[in-house]
Amino acid sequence: MSAPGAAPAFQPDAPFLAQQQKNKDTWAGQDKQIDAKLAALEKKFGKKPNIVYILADDVGWGELGWQGGGKHRGTPTPELDKMAFEGMRFWAAYAEPSCTPSRIAINTGRHPVRTGLLSVLWPGQTEGLSPEEVTVAEVLSEAGYHTAMWGKWHLGELPEQAPENQGYDYAYYGLFNGAPDMWPDSAALFDQPTSLKGPFYDFPGVEKYKEMTGIDLSVAGYVGEKGKGRKPIEGLAGTLGGKRQAAFEEESARQIIDYVKEKGKSDKPFFIYWATYTQQITGVDAFKDAPHVDRANAQASMMMQHNAHIRRLLDTLQEEGIAENTLVVWWSDNGPMYAFWPTAGYSWLNGAKGDVLEGGVRVPAMAWWPGMIEPNQDPTDMVHLVDLYTTAARLGGAMKNIPGDRVTDGIDQTALLLMGEGNSRRNYMFHYSGGQIGAVRYEDFKIHIKPGGHGGLPNMDFYNVRRDPGEKRGEFYPGLFAVTPLQNHLRAHMMMIGKFPHRVSGTMPKGAEITPHD
């Protein structure tokens, strides 16, 4: 029982509570070993481990070299592959189906539906991450961490939604996704006497757009500091256009390296959230003619730039003598977006960004932690992006800072990281499409829930996604045995929602959404 005035205990979802009860003795023994290992590390370095989370953009399952892509598809990933083989390669890692939702997931440890923010955000919208949500930066900051973020924020434009007001001590961030960077250039091409047209050929130009809509695109990003407000990023990195992302990424990498060198000497650990623009749609001139790069795919050159930045980061951690005390996790935010093909990521799986098919939500991910994570591991255990939230809290000694007045979907995966394959504590997933559950996975079984049904029979496709990760052989009747266990998970999940209702958007009335399921 909590002491008077104490925060209620961390509240997981109901299916996890059942799994926790079933495995309580095994997990208790593991936790003792894990605690001892982390205590020895803390004694060696005099502080909790540093944590670096890198969230990439639209990189599909199979895009990286270690998954069969890389130079074979014209998107070389040599440094990411090296990182993967030096650590743990997750073959069953999942995210939300699109970009804003995945940024909610990693920052709050919650499915977006719980937060009231369901849609991908576009310039000029007033929706954003509620100040009532408790971010991983707030959880770790309260535990004594330095916190900083770089990259694509995409969780709201208003000051109260901004990272410097959501737990980050420092933030260098872009407001939007990658598409608006092509709007001004498209307008310029449209006015030229040439058959070459931009992908957004009806965009009227920044000034005309402001005149028409009142939406000001003159500021693409900010530098913010906790308690000090923010100011626009100046120069190329802060101005919408086809060259912005490359400049922004270069400056971000430079700042991150300096930050690691400075904070690595502090008596406090650091947390970095790097929401890289890799891969978006503009490309990087310096890498377009690099070996094995598909020049027609602008994202391939961005991937090469990102590889160089990853190598600089990992080398710096080694040179500063803090690699053993720094967990680095790399994760994609969703599957590929094919709208601007051949500039696009790719997935060997069925589906793409926006889908709850495996191609939309199953993504490449890996973890690197020399001396703590054994190298060259390739677990098939299920992990989800929300798990990074709770895992960071566990590693940072900050579980008590997770609010207990709401459901946290993230599951602590420290056992998987430190003890290897077979030790994930997740055996289920709910795949939301906006406000609706589109698919449910339990163990190796996955169903896609479809509208309707007939004669009392459910309307669903059933897959064994270990045997059929491409979801090519979906049927109904072979999955009848899975109906009851999956129904039980859904029932428990829904009953927990009844106990802890979803937050309701204060700025988007129901029925006003254009993209409620993005």
Where in the sequence numbering do the catalytic residues fall?
Answer: 99, 154
Cis peptide before 125 (omega within 30 of 0): no
Phi, psi (degrees; rounded to nearest 5) at 453: 130, 165
Which SS3 state, helix, strand or coil, does residue 496 take?
A: helix
Q: Indicate the SS3 state at residue 368.
A: strand
DSSP H or E segment with residue 55:
strand 50-56
CA distances from 480 to 439, 450, 457, 469, 490 (A): 16, 15, 10, 19, 16
- Residue listed under structure tokens 């930066």: 137
Distance CA 129, CA 108 (A): 10
β-sheet bridge partners, residue 460: 449
Q: Annotate 375-386 with three-state secondary structure.
A: CCECCCCEEECC
Picking from 288, 296, 279, 277, the residue whose alpha carbon sits closest to that of residue 341 is: 296
Cα dist. 13→111, 157, 206 in Å?
A: 11, 30, 45
* Amino acid in position 87: G
Q: Decide: helix, strand or coil at residue 304.
A: helix
Strands (E), 96-181: 146-152, 170-174
Cβ proximity of 115 and 503 under 8 Å: yes
Q: Reduced to 3 states, what is the DSSP secondary structure of residue 56?
A: strand
Cα dihedral 279, 280, 285, 286 in deg (nearest 10): -20
- Residue given tokens 């129901």 in the structure block: 510
Burial of 383 (0-12, 13-18, 19+ CB in 10 A): buried
What H or E segment, with its residue span, contains residue 99? helix 99-108
- φ/ψ of residue 210, rounded to 5: -65, -40
**H/E stretch holding 328:** strand 326-332
* 330-336-341 Cα angle (round to 5): 135
